[in-house]
Structure 1
């Protein structure tokens, strides 16, 4: 049962479905690998937003950060990935362990070279202004 299936067209997130605000949602590590490889091949920046249905801060950020027009404009052309770690299962643990993420919300900025800009990582809830500040700083540093 997927009570929030409406946000992904009723398709399981492990199928790499584009959801609200252009996020590609999934719950399998292989999907993360595939999306990161495609972004690197295309020379794209990647925003990885670790998300869980039970994460209240994730829902606040979905509305107040990713629903913000300035944030949406700043992310034009960026591949936006949303690993769903709602379940406590091996796939979720592997998705979290891949980048040593403690839990959601955590935002990773991955450059066109496929490398995370670790110093720019956001852990915890931020507002649109804080997000844009960190994003712009990341873009300036390259």
Structure 2
């Protein structure tokens, strides 16, 4: 009979304290994890890539130096773009390869001055990475976030064939 009465008995003060302690710890852990994830999504370290100011400047520089361009279509709110800026563009090896052999330009899709470039390359989402020749003709195209290895593979991928 004591088992039945203990099942229906009101919770003790100690069990209430344990219950509230559990939820207090749960929400504190949730807050810490959420803040950590937010920092991970939005933190972007500086990089040493020699970005051109805009597409026209990049194209003039590419023609003058005889180098291909890499166009990185991005936006302020794009989390995969920020992750790519942190994991790819901030990498020393990527910076060295890009600065040595390409003319890089980051294009904000919400900048009204970029409208013609966005229309030319038919960019509808971010991130988009396009490798072009010095004239701006696309050689390689990748939509979505890239890892460092995928980005370096994109740079060394064979040029599309022009044979018919």
* TM-score bin, normalised by smaller chain: 0.5 to 0.7
Given the alignment of the two structures, is residue 57 of structure 1 paired with residue 77 of structure 2, yes or no? no
Given the alignment of the two structures, is residue 108 of structure 1 paired with residue 108 of structure 2, yes or no? no
Judging changes above 3 Å, is the alpha-carbon distance between structure 1 residues 80 and 98 closer, same or farther for their aligned structure 2 residues?
Answer: same
CA distance in structure 2 between the aligned counterparts of 1:114 and 1:42, rounded to whole angstroms: 14
- Aligned residue among 76, 96, 117 for 1:95: 117
Judging changes above 3 Å, is the alpha-carbon distance between structure 1 residues 49 and 63 closer, same or farther for their aligned structure 2 residues?
Answer: same
Give 2:69's aligned residue. 46
Task: Count matched residues.
Answer: 116
CA distance in structure 2 between the aligned counterparts of 1:20 and 1:53, rounded to whole angstroms: 19
3-state SS of the aligned residue for 2:71?
strand
CA distance in structure 2 between the aligned counterparts of 1:36 and 1:92, rounded to whole angstroms: 14
Give 2:36's aligned residue. none
Shift of 1:92: 4.3
Structure 1 residue runs of 5 or longer lacking an equivalent are 1-6, 8-18, 26-30
Residue by residue over 1:23-70, the C-alpha shift from the partner in whole angstroms, topping out at 9 and shown as x without a partner, is: 234xxxxx4234213311321121110110011111000010111222
CA distance in structure 2 between the aligned counterparts of 1:72 and 1:20, rounded to whole angstroms: 6
Given the alignment of the two structures, is residue 23 of structure 1 paired with residue 51 of structure 2, yes or no? yes
CA distance in structure 1 between the aligned counterparts of 2:132 and 2:148, rounded to whole angstroms: 19
3-state SS of the aligned residue for 1:109?
strand
CA distance in structure 1 between the aligned counterparts of 2:109 and 2:136, rounded to whole angstroms: 22
Q: What TM-score do you get using the length of structure 1 for normalisation?
A: 0.68
Bigger radius of gyration among the two = 2
Over aligned residue pairs, what C-alpha RMSD do you find?
2.7
CA distance in structure 2 between the aligned counterparts of 1:52 and 1:86, rounded to whole angstroms: 7
Structure 2 residue runs of 5 or longer lacking an equivalent are 1-44
CA distance in structure 1 between the aligned counterparts of 2:116 and 2:75, rounded to whole angstroms: 15
Given the alignment of the two structures, is residue 37 of structure 1 paired with residue 65 of structure 2, yes or no? no
